[in-house]
Structure 1
Amino acid sequence: MLSRHELRQLIRQRRKQLSPTQQQQAAHQLAERFRTLAFLPDCQHIALYLSNDGELDTWPLIHALWQLGKQLYLPLLHPVTPCHLIFQHFQANTPMRANRFGIPEPDWSCPDVRPVIQLDLICTPLVAFDALGNRLGMGGGFYDRTLAHYPARSSDGTPRLIGLAHHCQQVEAVPIEPWDVPLPAICTPAQIFLS
């Protein structure tokens, strides 16, 4: 089995080989597939992310969810707790800035922050995944640390977790560590995986 580092390199390269046309088609197909989630009508407060490094483009999904009247939130690097995220309300006119990784995030606005426990659904990026819901991220552990205290399969469904990915990011088995937070659902342009 490949190491986590080797797997990240392999899948990131596989993802970057997708043409701009393939990326665009996949982004629109993901938005359509996402709308078929059985639990989506029960989710009003949804955290997403802005794509980076060849990740599946989330803009078509963002626009589709706005059209459905959903309240959306983007992650910010936590200003006090290292390697954690907070989620802030996001609208079309939200002022943005680049964080230390060069990823756009909303300008800090304390009144617009929503606690994780008050989110209905959190969409996570990932590098690789398997059919059991194991997720391999970029290696910083931001989502794992942020979500460690919230069971991925909580009985009341708050917050629900779902990964977003290209189908080519699926692998037979993700090498997991004790701190990894599994995902009960992963949505690709072609399929929804439920574990």
Structure 2
Amino acid sequence: MRATVPAGVTRQHIRQTIRKTRRALSTSEQNRAAQALLARCQVSDTLKQAHHIALYLTNDGELDTEPLIHWLWQAGKHVYLPVLHPFSKGHLLFLGYSPNTPMAPNRFGIAEPVLDIRRVCPIANLDVVCTPLVAFDATGHRLGMGGGYYDRTLSRWHHHREGPRPIGLAHDCQQVASLPSQSWDVPLPEIITPSHHYRW
């Protein structure tokens, strides 16, 4: 179900509204959504053809990515998780992720792989980057948490259609009619929710 957001509201108000909505989902609703998302991802040509896939661990009511990660491992795919860059503020590194990867909380309290330069995958070597988002609209515009991490990660895709293909993952309740966009926002070519696979 699409979230109702009044026209003319600020990006910050949309963030607050949608984050509150998705955090209110019950455990059973979250579990059903995760399984429905997995079913859609399993028939995605983009994911079936990809070998190196960046994902993220769930936080703040986001759609649970754990079933998807386990399926990708079983399918022989290489999975990577974002790590806050220690020297370049606002940027991400992507490290290989397996069941025995050492983890530690970052400054936002989100678990990430312990930095090991040997496990870093250059962004250009990724096939797909599955991006978290707070809200999205009918044209593929994405509203994130405001840090710009994924906008920077996907800048080459945004300007030149080069690099890994981004796919947004979201609950259905995170869709709004339209988003106020900025010049640095990266519209996504695909967004997968439990009930739809949007392509632009």
TM-score by length of 2: 0.93
**8-17 or 120-129: which moved more?**
8-17
Instruction: Note the 1:139-178 alignment, pairs <5 A.
Output: 139-151=146-158, 154=161, 158-178=163-183
What 5-or-longer segments of structure 1 have no aligned partner? none
What 5-or-longer segments of structure 2 have no aligned partner? 1-7
Task: Render the CA deviation track for 1:6-55: whole Å, top value 9, x for unaligned.
Answer: 00011111111111100011011111111111222220000000010000
Instruction: State how far apart, in whole Å, the 1-side matches of 2:36 and 2:160 are.
Output: 26
Instruction: State how far apart, in whole Å, the 1-side matches of 2:116 and 2:99 are.
Output: 15
Identity value in percent: 53
**66-75 or 36-45: which moved more?**
36-45
**139-148 or 110-119: which moved more?**
139-148
| Distance apart, 1:152 and its partner CA | 7.4
Aligned with residue 23 of structure 1, among 17, 30, 34: 30
Aligned with residue 194 of structure 1, among 162, 186, 199: 199
The CA RMSD measured in Å over matched residues stands at: 1.3
Tell whether the 8 Å contact from 1:99 to 1:105 is kept in structure 2 after alignment: yes
The match for 1:83 is 90
Instruction: State how far apart, in whole Å, the 2-side matches of 1:18 and 1:153 are.
Output: 38
Instruction: State how far apart, in whole Å, the 1-side matches of 2:140 and 2:39 are.
Output: 21
Tell whether the 8 Å contact from 2:154 to 2:166 is kept in structure 1 after alignment: no
The match for 1:48 is 55
Query: SS of the counterpart of 2:21?
Result: helix
